[in-house]
Structures are given as structure tokens and as C-alpha cells.
Amino acid sequence: MVSRWLRRFSSTPSWRSNTPNGASNTREAPFSVFRDVPALRQYRKQLLLSKRTVGLVPTMGALHDGHLSLIRQAAIENTDVFVSIFVNPTQFGVNEDLDKYPRTWEADIQKLKELDEELALARTGSARGRISAIFAPTNKAMYPTLPPTSELDGYGSFVTITPLATLLEGASRPVFFRGVATVCMKLFNIVTPDRVYFGQKDVQQTVVIKRMVTDLHVGTDVKLGPTIREEDGLAMSSRNVMLGARRRKVGLVLYQALKEAERAYLSGKRDREDILRPANRLVESIAREQEALPPSERATFELDYISLADVDSLEELQVVDVSRGAVLSGAVKMLPIESPQPGEDCGNNGGDTPVRLIDNIII
């Protein structure tokens, strides 16, 4: 079912250029780093005239193996891979964690250098591409006329996708998908990629962007890569470094709950309540276990939602149509660490910031 659903989102030898005007070269990097739009567009025009194809992997940095897997996928399907690194302020709510979102530029560039070396060694023909450009714009470059705003009624030019952007994550984070759709439209206009790559972990984001591309006649194919997980099943996320050991262990509750729901479906259950009941029971059980522990040991959390939704509309389902399948998804907020102990691993920000985790399983 997963591979069938992934396919629904899929619709010359390597050449290296000199650094174009307006781009910067990270020391010994095999790719160019662009900070502004005109230089990137000039470079993209050269590739277009050379009949080369571009795959774009949008990121906010703090790269992990999930991002790298998307870049590998893009390199198989395109001659050139562009990676954008931009922490987009308009997708963070007023009281969200924009200022504490991890920024790891040097580590990101090093990972991209190493991956590009891997791609160079693995090339099997003209279809195998390389990383050729990093787009790391300033806020001013991306929002040239007005400062970016996180206010729901703020001024600016935005892309809204309704009702998709108001469901699930959108219900809890009302500006999130407006910001995501807006920045993606900007990136698509600037880069004009042949293909763009997202991970299944952010499944609602992919559905929203797919709808935007279709409705607004954007000339790019939206591609989806599988969720990449840690050995214990936790979905890889840039925010995981903020958890610390205590919250990291309990943060598995969401994936475990979704697996409980999946097992119910695989056992023959089709009604919503029958599928979600074991998931909710598991969450309640783990929450009680943590509350019973002393503050110096526990990691508390709040369940935002567990959803059983249609794969296209994201509307909640009462009964699963086996021929279509469904999306099991959820979100939890890991609350700040209580009574941190001397020497305890509390994560990058000391454990005083809530960390939101999302995940999903396609059934």
C-alpha cells in the first residue's frame, strides 16, 4: 500500500560550471552557494540551455539522513540537484520555536560535500546527477518588499490552500501551511525545478504542495521519498536534537501508537473507532506511567491528535476503503524537561523548549 501511494506523487554526462557571478564558493566545495535570486536564475538559465534537468530538495537546514536520502533520489532522476537551506519565518507561529530552531550551516555543508563525493563515485551513466547548487537566501531575498510576518492577519503576499491547510497540523498551527505554500511557491518560481522532493514524514505538507502545483499550474513534478527512521523507529527530524535523552525515549510514543493502529487495520479492522482505539489506549497508558514518575525522571507530553484520513483530501474517515487506503498520522508535544539533573543530556536548547513531533503511516 505504501509503494502504491508513493507512486501517486510521481508524475548527458555530469558537467561542472565555474562559480557564476553573485555566487560564493564554500572552501573546496564542489558546488556553488547562492545567496540572492539573480545569480541563481542566471545559473539555472545556463542549465536550461544545456538541456539539463534540476531536482530541488527544499530544507531548513540541520540536515539528517532523511534529507540526504531525498538528495540521492533527486540525483538518480536529474542531472543537477539544488538544495535550498532557508529557515522560513512565515511558517512559524508567533509563540513557536523560530529562534531556537537548529542552525548547523558548517555541518550541513560538510554533509553535502561528503554526499556529493559519494554521488561522484556512484555515477552509473548520464542519469546520475550531482549536487550543483545550494540556495541559502536571506530573509530580504525571499521577502523583498515587506518583513516576513507570523501574524495570521499580517501584511504580505501569501499562498493559501483551503481546506487542506486548515486540517490536522493546520488546525493547531494556523499559519504553518500558508508559510510553507508561500515559500515553496517562491522557491519554485526562482529555481524552476523539473522535480521537487519531499519526505513522507511531512505527508500533509506534500499533499498541500501537490494541490498547489496542480491548481496553480506550476511546471514541476512533486516527488515523495519514504520516511527515514532511527533504529528504534523514531522518524528523523531536525528537531530531534532538541529532545535530550529523557524526552527522546518517551518521544517514541507517537510511532508506537500509530503502529498499534496499523496492527488493528492489518488484523481486519476497518471502522475508525476499532482502528484508533488501541492507539489512544497506548498513549493514555504511557502518559499515566510518566505522570507517576518523580519530576527528575519523567518526560511528559501532550497528544495533539491521532488521525485516520483520506490520502488525497485528508478528511477524517469513518470507514477505510481498502482500495484507497488511508493515512494514519499524529502529533505530540514533548513538554519542557522537569527538574533537569546535573550532567543530564537535555538536548541542544537545554530542555526548556517544547518539541513538536509528527509522524504517519500509510495503510
**C-alpha closest to that of 361 among 239, 258, 282:** 258
Q: Is 321 helix (H, G, I), strand (E, B) or coil?
A: coil
For residue 224, give every residue at least 6 positions away whose Cβ sits within 8 Å of its Cβ, in sequence order, or none. 6, 9, 10, 197, 198, 199, 200, 206
Separation of alpha carbons 40 and 45, rounded Å:
9
DSSP structural state of residue 181: H
Backbone φ, ψ for residue 240 (5° rounding): -60, -30
Burial label, 120 (beta-carbon count in 10 A; 0-12, 13-18, 19+): middle
Distance CA 14, CA 214 (A): 31
- Alpha-carbon distance 309 to 294, whole Å? 37
Residue whose grid cell is 519526505? 199
Instruction: Determine the Cα–Cα distance for residues 92 and 327; give it in Å rounded to an integer.
Output: 24
Quote the CA–CA distance of 290 and 227 in Å, as a whole number: 28
The β-bridge partners of 332 are 303, 357
Residues 6 or more apart in contact with residue 95 via CB below 8 angstroms: none
To which residue does cell 500509510 refer? 362
Catalytic member of 44, 52, 67, 298: 67
67 as an active site residue: the answer is yes
Active-site residue set: 67
